[in-house]
Amino acid sequence: MKFDFDQLIRPNIRSLKPYRSARDDFKSGILLDANENPVSPGPEHELNLNRYPDPHYDALRNRLSELKPSVSPKQIFLGNGSDEAIDLLIRMFCTPGKDRILVTPPTYGMYRVSADIHGIETVEAPLRPDFSLDADSVLAKTDGVKIIFLCSPNNPTANRQPESEIRKVIEGFSGIVVVDEAYIDFSRDKSLLPLLSSYPNLVVMQTLSKAWGLAGIRLGMAFASAELISYMMRVKPPYNVNSLTQNIALKALGNPAQTQKVINDILEERTRVSEELATLSGVLKVEESDAKFLLVRVENAPEVYKKLAEQGVIVRYRGDQLHCDNGLRVTIGIKQENDDLLDALSKILQTG
Ligand SMILES: Cc1ncc(COP(=O)(O)O)c(C=O)c1O
Say which CATH number the domain at 306 has.
Answer: 3.90.1150.10
What is the domain-level CATH number for residue 195?
3.40.640.10
305 lines ligand 1 (CB under 6 A): no
pTM of the model: 0.96
Give the mutation target among 110, 152, 212 for probing the ligand 1 site: most ligand atoms within 8 A of CB. Answer: 110
Same domain, 194 and 147: yes
- Which residue from 155, 86, 85 is spatially nearest to 114, judged by alpha carbons? 86
Q: Whose CA is nearest to atom 7 of ligand 1?
A: 82
244 lines ligand 1 (CB under 6 A): no
Nearest atom in ligand 1 to 207's CA:
10
191 lines ligand 1 (CB under 6 A): no
Element at 115 (helix H, strand E): helix 110-117
Tell me how far CA of residue 114 lies from CA of 101, 125, 351, in angstroms: 10, 18, 42
Same domain, 183 and 242: yes
Strand order in the sheet with 293-298: 283-286, 293-298, 327-331, 316-317
155 lines ligand 1 (CB under 6 A): yes
157 lines ligand 1 (CB under 6 A): no
SS3 203: strand
85 lines ligand 1 (CB under 6 A): no
Identify the domain containing residue 321 by its residue range. Answer: 257-351
Nearest atom in ligand 1 to 209's CA:
9
CA of 265 to the centre of ligand 1 (A): 21
Same domain, 202 and 278: no
Distance CA 238, CA 53 (A): 9
First-to-final CA distance of the chain: 55
Nearest atom in ligand 1 to 215's CA:
9
Sign of CA dihedral 336, 344, 158, 216: negative
Same domain, 229 and 278: no
Same domain, 200 and 91: yes
Same domain, 89 and 225: yes
Distance CA 264, CA 282 (A): 29
Give the mutation target among 155, 223, 289, 321 for probing the ligand 1 site: most ligand atoms within 8 A of CB. Answer: 155
Structure confidence by residue, pLDDT tens digits, 132-186: 999 999 999 999 999 999 999 999 999 999 999 999 999 999 999 999 999 999 9
Same domain, 133 and 17: yes
241 lines ligand 1 (CB under 6 A): no
Same domain, 161 and 285: no
181 lines ligand 1 (CB under 6 A): no
Same domain, 230 and 115: yes
**Quick check: 105 and 321 in contact, CB under 8 A?**
yes
CA of 44 to the centre of ligand 1 (A): 31
The last residue of one of the domains, among 254, 272, 302, is 254
84 lines ligand 1 (CB under 6 A): no
CA of 218 to the centre of ligand 1 (A): 10
Residue 123 backbone phi and psi in degrees, to 5: -95, 140
Structure confidence by residue, pLDDT tens digits, 58-73: 999 999 999 999 999 9
Beta strands 327-331 and 316-317, pairing class: antiparallel
pLDDT tens for the 352 residues of the chain, in order: 777 888 899 999 999 998 888 888 888 899 998 899 988 887 777 788 999 999 999 999 999 999 999 999 999 999 999 999 999 999 999 999 999 999 999 999 999 999 999 999 999 999 999 999 999 999 999 999 999 999 999 999 999 999 999 999 999 999 999 999 999 999 999 999 999 999 999 999 999 999 999 999 999 999 999 999 999 999 999 999 999 999 999 999 999 999 999 999 999 999 999 999 999 999 999 999 999 999 999 999 999 999 999 999 999 999 999 999 999 999 999 999 999 999 999 999 988 6
**Quick check: 281 and 317 in contact, CB under 8 A?**
no
Number of domains comprising the chain: 2
CA of 23 to the centre of ligand 1 (A): 30
Same domain, 127 and 144: yes
